[in-house]
Structures are given as C-alpha cells and as structure tokens.
Amino acid sequence: MDGHTSQDADRSPSPHHAKERGASKPLFRGGTSDYEAHSTDGVPSIRQHLRSRGISEKGVDIILASWKPGTGKQYRPHLKRWTQFCNRWDIGPFDPTVKNIINFLFETFNRNVGYELVNTARSALSSLGIVVNGYRAGNHPLVIRFMKGIFNLRPPSTRYTETWDVQPVLTMLTSMYPLHILTLKDLSLKLVMLMALTQAARVKTLHLLCTQGMHIDKDFISVYLRGNIKQCRPTFNIRTVKFQAYSRDSRLCVCATLKHYLERTEGLRQEFSQFNDTLLISYIKPHKPVTKDSISRWIKTMLYRSGVDTSRFTAGSVRPAAVSKAKAMSIPSACIMSKAGWTRESTFAKYYDKQIVKEVDSFQEAVLE
C-alpha cells in the first residue's frame, strides 16, 4: 500500500509488543508563558522539545500562539494522550514511526468516538511538525488510508440535518417596533438577532464588536473587531464588519437598530468605557460588557420567542439558517462564501479580492426578503 512501510516497520518496538512501563515519565513543565490564552497545559513536552532545539522561551511562546485558543482547546487533550502514549511505549514524541501514529489513532478510535474526533487527533499530531518518511504525520499515505477506514466504519454526522425557517423570526423582529418603546432587553435581543442574520455571524464575531473607530454613514455602519475571528489568517485578516442599511423595511434595518442602541446605551457606558469598548453590554445593572454565553442566550431567547425549537437548535444555527435562506433566494455562491467565510484559504482570498462592494448588500436583501 505504501513503499515506505517496510522501511520504518522495525524502527521501534510496536506498542502491542513492547514491554509497558510501570509508570509514566514525569512531564517537564517549562517556564510560565506570557500568552496564557495559548497555554499548552497538559502537553509540556512540546515546550521542552522546542527549547531543546535552541529556541528561546519567548520564541516558544509565539510558536504556541500560532494556535487560536479554540484550536488549542481542541488539540490539548489529544496531545496530552499522545505524550502519555509515547511515555508508555518508549516512543520519541517527535520521532515516531507511521505504525506508532496509526496505533495511537486506533487507541483514540477504540474509545468509541466518531470520525471527527479521530481526525482532530490526527490534525493535532500534524500541528507538531512531525515528519515521517517525508510526510507530515497526518498526511502519510497509510494514515490517510486508515482515516478512510474510520470514515467508512463511523461516518461523520452533521450537527443539523435541517435548519429552521427564517420567516417566523423576521415576523417577531418586525413586531418589535417602534424602537423607542422597547425595553433595553428587547432592543438588545433584536439587535443581536439582526446582526447574526444579516452577517451569518458567529457568536464570537458579535462578542468582538467594539465601539472604538466605528464609522457611521447614511447607508452603512462599519464596526471594528477587537480580535481575530475564526476565518482570520495571515493572508486574509478581517478587521471590520459592515452592516448595510435596509431601506425596504425600517423595522428590519440593522443600522437603524444599532444607531438607536448606541444612543440608548451611551450614558450607561461611562463607568467602564475607559477600560472597555465592547459594543454589546448587559441590559441589567451594572451594564458591563457581556460574555459570549450571554450573547448565545439572547439569540436562543429570540429563537424561542419566534417558535423555533431551542431544544434542537442553538445560537450557532443562525449561520446555516441565514445562508440556506440566501441560497433559496438564488444568491451566488461566491457572495455566500465571502459573507460566511466557508471555503479554503486560497479560494476565499480569490473571492474576497474580486468582491465589488455594492450599495445594496445582496446577501442581506435575500435574508430579509
């Protein structure tokens, strides 16, 4: 199946034949990182290995920061188990054979998990820069063949096999008008749902919106992000989110709602504005910046009010619902991909570079139609 298989078959004892240790090696924890959000808690051998190659402590911190916090959180348990696996079978964590990698992935599979989790474990090993027979750990032909077997045995399942109809939510949003009679709570809920729908936005994106540097125009509002969102990368870095006015129905206009929200909350921000410029704040005292969990609850509240089954659909379901509506309205796939960020890096960059910003946001027009 692979020309290099016999070559590395005897490089180290197989985990199924080697003598297992009675105890694992103690793990070296290294220094304390200044980048706590990208901590490698549970896998200190990575830090030790990089330091042994002559890389400074701060240099290691920056390398480890190449993982976004969410990615690090996903990889951490797999890398911890990889370290334990290597300690158990006297394997060099950064110098394994292909059979070591497959046996480790089999142990993961044997924990009765699905394809997605085994594939995450494979990606975690590849992220360490492990090279076997000239291939990255996760790209070795035998590993790829193994993963195809996992796929056939336990096919991945999507979280949502169907999505909810946007129309009942739009009806609810339309009823929440005029804006000046709404409570701050209802105004906040309406704004968050409109922003999520018109941008097919993740909760994290809404959480990162800030008031500093905001540009308010007659037909649009540009809002800066305080950090990187999921689709950000060195070749494509989104710094602002542009909300387009919706002239067809002021009751569904995200810009009008946002302007009113800023006016209503201006006085409430004075106590913390010098320390935080977060756009979304709590509607109850002391009106501090809200967490991602709070934003998720706001969206679920709006879904519940609109009759959507919130036992099945979470705040994350807004994205597939919005793009499904856009697709049903015959919006070009390029527009949908650029709005939602669903493509490979090169393809996404291609569509972004050629995108013509129109006065009318066709994606929003389709979603709110």
Q: Is residue 160 part of a domain?
A: no
Of 81-90, 341-350, 355-364, give the lowest mean pLDDT range: 341-350
The reply to whether 79 and 203 lie within a common domain is no
112 φψ region: left (φ > 0), alpha (ψ -120 to 50), beta (else): left
Instruction: Give percent of the chain above pLDDT 70.
Output: 76
The reply to whether 313 and 185 lie within a common domain is yes
The reply to whether 189 and 114 lie within a common domain is no
- Amino acid at residue number 224: Y
The reply to whether 149 and 191 lie within a common domain is no
CA torsion angle for 308, 314, 315, 316 (degrees, to 10)?
Answer: -120
The reply to whether 138 and 209 lie within a common domain is no
For 174, the enclosing helix (H) or strand (E) is: helix 166-175
Between 193 and 237, the more confident residue is: 193
Query: What is the band of 55 on the pLDDT scale with cuts at 50, 70, 90?
Result: confident
Of 107-121, 184-198, 278-292, 342-356, give the lowest mean pLDDT range: 342-356
Say what the pLDDT of residue 189 is: 98
CA distance 260 to 255: 9
Top-confidence range, 84-98, 146-160, 234-248, 341-355? 84-98
Say what the pLDDT of residue 72 is: 80
Say what the pLDDT of residue 365 is: 75
CA distance 253 to 272: 28
Residue 353 CB contacts under 8 Å (≥ 6 apart), including other chains: none
CA distance 325 to 308: 15
Query: Mind listing the pLDDT tens digit for each residue in 83-116?
Result: 899 989 998 888 899 999 999 999 999 999 999 8
Say what the pLDDT of residue 92 is: 86
The reply to whether 122 and 176 lie within a common domain is no
The reply to whether 111 and 257 lie within a common domain is no
Say what the pLDDT of residue 60 is: 82
Query: Mind listing the pLDDT tens digit for each residue in 163-190?
Result: 888 999 999 999 999 999 999 999 999 9
Between 235 and 10, the more confident residue is: 235
Top-confidence range, 31-40, 51-60, 108-117, 320-329? 108-117
Between 220 and 26, the more confident residue is: 220
Question: Is residue 16's pLDDT more than 90?
Answer: no
Which own/partner contact pairs does 216-222 have at CB distance under 8 Å and 24+ positions apart?
Answer: 216/259, 218/245, 219/244, 219/245, 219/255, 219/359, 220/244, 220/245, 220/255, 221/255, 221/258, 221/259
Between 354 and 359, the more confident residue is: 359
Q: Is residue 128 part of a domain?
A: yes
Query: What is the band of 220 on the pLDDT scale with cuts at 50, 70, 90?
Result: very high
- Mean pLDDT across the stretch 359-364? 66
User: Can you list the alpha helix ranges (DSSP code H) found in 221-332?
Assistant: 254-265, 292-305, 318-328
Q: Is residue 306 part of a domain?
A: yes
Q: Is residue 68 part of a domain?
A: yes
The reply to whether 112 and 182 lie within a common domain is no
Q: Is residue 158 part of a domain?
A: no
The reply to whether 279 and 355 lie within a common domain is yes
Of 111, 130, 153, which residue constitutes the final position of a domain?
153
- Amino acid at residue number 200: A
Token duo for residue 213 = 């540097």
Q: Is residue 161 part of a domain?
A: no
CA distance 244 to 111: 48
CA distance 185 to 176: 11
Domain CATH code at residue 330: 1.10.443.10
Say what the pLDDT of residue 229 is: 65
Beta strand 135-136 with 215-216: parallel, antiparallel or unpaired?
A: unpaired
Identify whether the C-beta of residue 117 lies closer than 8 Å to the C-beta of residue 147. Answer: no
- Render 72-135 in DSSP notation, one character per residue: HHHHHHHHHHHHHHHHHTT--TTS--HHHHHHHHHHHHTTT--HHHHHHHHHHHHHTT-EETTE
Domains held by the chain: number: 2
The reply to whether 285 and 224 lie within a common domain is yes
The reply to whether 204 and 308 lie within a common domain is yes
214: domain range?
166-368
Of 108, 124, 153, which residue constitutes the final position of a domain?
153
The reply to whether 105 and 232 lie within a common domain is no
Question: Is residue 342's pLDDT more than 70?
Answer: no
Identify whether the C-beta of residue 171 lies closer than 8 Å to the C-beta of residue 126. Answer: no
Of 102, 127, 153, which residue constitutes the final position of a domain?
153
Q: Is residue 159 part of a domain?
A: no
CA torsion angle for 349, 235, 232, 209 (degrees, to 10)?
Answer: -90
Say what the pLDDT of residue 234 is: 53
Q: Is residue 31 part of a domain?
A: yes
Say what the pLDDT of residue 252 is: 97
CA torsion angle for 285, 286, 292, 298 (degrees, to 10)?
Answer: 10
Say what the pLDDT of residue 8 is: 39
Helix (H, G, I), strand (E, B) or coil at 303: helix
